[in-house]
Amino acid sequence: MDTDIFESHESEVMSYARSFPVVFDQAKGSYLYDETGAEYIDFLAGAGTLNYGHNNPILKEKLLEYIQRDGIVHGLDMHTTAKREFMDAFYEVILKPRDMDHVMQFTGPTGTNAVEAALKIARNIKGRHNIIAFTNGFHGVSLGALAATGNSHHRGVAGVTLSGVNRMPYDGYLGDAFDTTEYLDKVLGDSSSGVDFPAAVIVETVQGEGGINAASFDWLRNLEKVCRKHDMLLILDDIQAGCGRTGSFFSFDDVGINPDIITLSKSLSGYGLPFAMVLLKPELDQWKPGEHNGTFRGHNLAFVTAAAALNHYWRDDNFAKEVQKKADIITERFRDIARSYDDHWFYLNGRGMMQGLVCRDGELAEEITKACFKRKLVIETSGADDQVIKTLCPLTISEEDLDRAMDILKDSVSEVMTDRVKRSEAHSVG
């Protein structure tokens, strides 16, 4: 596989390519194929962008049909048939059954674009600059969103002061016994706490890049209460945890909260096409025409595949049930691994099909994911020290393939752990 041009001419900024240094050529469902035809199971799946698998045939058929009939590809934000069909589907399938009357704002096509829009409108509506974000939160790397992102690796290259955000401890950050929303409530009620009165809180229900930390439903409900009490907007960043990843379309569906602003991207198009959207409660839709624009707001090819995904997967709860079943398999298999090592080296976190096998350190996680890749399983880590091995496989994966991947993971863990024991024995003898 010829990688010369990447080495000579691609920016050093590349990241995933370093973990998986082959040249991928084709993909189908839960599988990636490199140029030599070798087959890999994909547990990274575009970092949660391919919830319905690679080149999903149902979505592909609609897309090809649309391209074939010269359907509008780029239409700025003009009305198009494709947009209407997406909006109709999103309203009928997602919003209406939930009694949600949010309006849809199409932003530039990446997650960080949606976050920028959400923060901007929240600040303008409330007339306050400050936003509350959480430890280990990830919201993107453009400057506004980056200010809300916790990771110092990303923050460190901002080049300017990242301002307008105060950091608060996420659920569990100070141990299970402590509800960190009480701390937030306390500082907001204290005129001398040093925290400027915020416009909004931005939060993930499960922190994807931050280590697959899942907030408890109680914590999320308490967070909403604090928002209401202190007149702050609740922005729910569902870019990674949404679109079915946790077992329901929105990750907060079963929580019993009603976020003011919701950001969606990653798996929204369903096909890996760039697409992002902000949902705003109608009274918050205070934009003036063109005030926040962008050339690629709502891409028509993405509208086509997104509508197809909604119509096919979300009109009843069969798909959600299937996701839940596979989530249980993942939990069981992870628990099995953790137990085999006396729950000393590993523990589990996450929710639905967004689960993590948390390793004692980042080095261990890296050794394991490398061993997985040798066995042709593409799987990544996340978290502050990259200590969490995360499952983000397509939700459409077959149980057979899921088992296969879990077998590979188990074997890889076993290889690495055996190696560790040998090394520590050699060390103690030496």
Q: Summarize as ranges the residues that interact with ligand PLP (CB under 6 A).
A: 110-112, 115, 138-140, 204, 208-209, 237, 239-240, 265-266
Q: Report the residue number, 126 or 139, with the smaller CB distance to ligand PLP.
A: 139
Tell the smallest beta-carbon distance from residue 426 to ligand PLP (Å).
41
Of the pair 199, 239, the CB lying nearest ligand PLP is at 239
Nearer to ligand PLP, 139 or 333 (CB): 139
Q: Is the CB of 207 or the CB of 412 nearer to ligand PLP?
A: 207
Q: Shortest approach of ligand PLP to residue 374 CB, angstroms?
A: 27
Q: The tokens 């079915």 sit on which residue?
A: 244
Residue nearest ligand PLP (C-beta atom): 111
* Residue with Cβ nearer ligand PLP (240 or 300): 240
Asked if 198 and 132 touch (Cβ cutoff 8 Å), the reply is yes
Closest CB 110 distance from ligand PLP, rounded Å? 4
Smallest separation (angstroms) from ligand PLP to the CB of 172:
17
* Radius of gyration of the CA atoms of the chain, in A: 22
Minimum CB separation from ligand PLP for residue 215, in Å? 13
- Which residue from 344, 361, 362, 357 is spatially nearest to 409, judged by alpha carbons? 357
The secondary structure of 177-217, three-state, reads CCCHHHHHHHHHCCCCCCCCCCCEEEECCEECCCCCEECCH
Nearer to ligand PLP, 94 or 264 (CB): 264
In the complex, what is the shortest distance from the CB of residue 331 to ligand PLP, in angstroms, rounded to a whole number? 22
Sheet containing 31-34: order of strands: 24-28, 31-34, 39-42, 377-378
Least distance in Å: CB of 138 to ligand PLP? 5
What DSSP string describes 326-384?
A: HHHHHHHHHHHHHHHTTTTSEEEEEETTEEEEEESSHHHHHHHHHHHHHTTEE-EEEST
Taking phi first (over 0 means left), then psi (-120 to 50 degrees means alpha), and beta for anything else, what does residue 95 get? alpha
Q: Which is nearer to ligand PLP, 85 or 171 (CB)?
A: 171
CB 20 within 8 A of CB 372: no
